[in-house]
Amino acid sequence: MVDHDGAARMELTPEEIREEDGSYLVECPACGTPTTLMKVMESGHCAGADDDVGCTAELALELVWSE
Ligand SMILES: [Zn+2]
């Protein structure tokens, strides 16, 4: 689980999200590996965590709003 207080943050814009085979991908800010949003939400890691990259970054998505 991501330590939200100590974590770095970035706002996602449409330019940073790309579609591939019906999935939406973002580049991991730590290692640059393209990773589906679903993978981030389900595993908390990028696709690079499962291959040679061995990325150890913990990732989470959040929605931010105000009323
Ligand atoms: Zn990564």
As averages over each run of 10 residues, the pLDDT of the chain (67 residues) reads 85 94 96 97 96 95 95
Question: How far is ligand 1, taken at its centre, from the CA of residue 54, in Å?
Answer: 8
Question: How far is ligand 1, taken at its centre, from the CA of residue 67, in Å?
Answer: 33
Q: What is the pLDDT of residue 3?
A: 80
Q: What is the pLDDT of residue 2?
A: 79
Q: Residue 56, SS3?
A: coil
CB 49 within 8 A of CB 55: yes
Q: What is the pLDDT of residue 48?
A: 97
Taking the alpha carbons of 63, 13, 29, 45 in that order, is the dihedral positive or negative? positive
